[in-house]
Amino acid sequence: MNKKISISGIDILNLIFWIFMFVFFVLAFNKTDHKLYGSILLSLLLFFQLFVLYTRDKQNKNVFFKYLHILYPAIFLIFIFDSIHTSLPYINPNDYDAYLANLDFKLLGTHPTVAIEKIISPLLTEIMYILYFFYFFMPFTIIIYFLKKKYYQKLDKTVLFLLLTFYGSYLLYYLVPALGPRHYEPIVDMQSVPLNGLLFTDFIRNTVDTFEHNKFDAFPSLHAAISLSVLIVIAKYKKSWLYVFIPIVTGIFVSLIYCRYHYFIDIIGGVLWTLISYLIVELFYNKLYSKYFSPYYTGK
């Protein structure tokens, strides 16, 4: 008897983006310095996706399969992001930092990372870096809430929304590769106040630098996009949390400029792509999902 495989929209989105990354890697293959690593990574990601599909009906047979299926979108996302550095610089070697910096100056009449130096202090720097780092954990707050409440349909729709926001931003990295103001020399030369914190600033800064293999990720700002995405989900399903998360998201937005990771236009790009992603998911999920797909995790 043939085994019926349950497909979710998340599976389809992952496979589509894997195809994008595979094509990019093939196009960059003759130039990339990461032939072996990229080949192994993309092969393992495809195998992992197929393994998840095949074992979906076992997701609650034991603890391993349960947490594998709960965490599978995050695992896939982390490693697909890591694959970007194997192809992006070799496909589009251009650097759009000058263009983005000039656009900021035309819009604001100044360079934001320079203008904000007036309020820099060790305590504020510490707070800004902690907020910047909290972004990495922020999506899990609402995801854990849905899991505890067994709101699996809401969980599935939220993860689909987040993944589309992530993947669309990754594709834009290929179109507009930029390092950000902390690496753009004309702006670096204007900065006169160092970002010295108290306890965790250096640790956070070094950790981000170590694990961020793809450095061309300024536009659009994923910090802006994903923190806003989570805020939208919270506003829709858990309004009582807004009193906590609106100040946090506001702080994250400020930290992007304060910590010199992003241009102002990066934030605008992240916000716009988030809104587009939300509209796409609302249209797709409400009209097509129940007919053709099932949630990636059902708790059964």
Contact 270, 225 (CB under 8 A): yes
Helix (H, G, I), strand (E, B) or coil at 171: helix
Contact 41, 83 (CB under 8 A): yes
What Rg value do the Cα atoms of the chain yield, rounded? 20
CA angle 182, 183, 189 (to 5 degrees): 75
The pLDDT of residue 4 is: 43
Structure tokens at 119: 């309020």
**Is 300 exposed, middle or buried (CB count within 10 Å of its CB: 0-12, 13-18, 19+)?**
exposed
Q: How far is the CA of 65 from the CAs of 54, 60, 215, in angstroms?
A: 11, 6, 34
The pLDDT of residue 1 is: 36
| Mean pLDDT value across residues 164-179 | 97
- Judge whether residue 212 has pLDDT over 70: yes
Q: Identify the residue with better confidence: 122 or 56.
A: 122
- Judge whether residue 158 has pLDDT over 50: yes
Percentage of residues in the chain with pLDDT exceeding 90?
82
The closest of 244, 251, 201, 196 to 223, measured between CA atoms, is 251
Q: Identify the residue with better confidence: 294 or 226.
A: 226
Contact 262, 178 (CB under 8 A): no
List Cβ neighbours of 176 (8 Å cut-off, separation of 6 or more). Answer: 96, 100, 219
Contact 85, 33 (CB under 8 A): no
Mean pLDDT, the chain, whole residue set: 93
Q: How far apart are the C-alpha atoms of 166 and 17, rounded to whole Å?
A: 10
pLDDT digits (tens, 9 = 90+) for 231-286: 999 999 999 999 999 999 999 999 999 999 999 999 999 999 999 999 999 988 87
> Which of 1-15, 151-165, 177-191 has the weakest average pLDDT?
1-15
pTM comes to: 0.94
